[in-house]
Amino acid sequence: MSKESKAKEPTEVTNTELVLPSHTNHYGNIFGGTLVSFMDITGGLAAMLFCNEEVVTASIEALDFKTPIKQGDVIEQKGRVLYTGKTSMVVSVEVYRVEKFTGNKDFCCEGYFIYVAIDKEGNPKPVPAVKILTESDKQNWEIGRGIKDRALERKKHEP
Tell me which residues touch a second copy (CB under 8 A): 13-22, 24-27, 29, 31-34, 36-42, 44-45, 48-49, 52-54, 56-65, 68, 71-72, 74, 98, 100-103, 111, 122, 150-151, 154-155
Rounded-to-integer distance, Cα 45 and Cα 38, Å: 11
**Minimum distance from residue 94 beta carbon to a second copy (Å):** 12
CA-based nearest residue to 55, from 7, 87, 9, 10: 87
Q: With respect to a second copy, which residue has the nearer C-beta, 42 or 141? A: 42
Instruction: Give the three-state DSSP class for 4.
Output: helix
The amino acid sitting at 136 is S
**Minimum distance from residue 87 beta carbon to a second copy (Å):** 15
Task: Rounding to the nearest 10 degrees, give the CA dihedral for residues 34, 39, 45, 48.
Answer: -110
**Minimum distance from residue 159 beta carbon to a second copy (Å):** 9
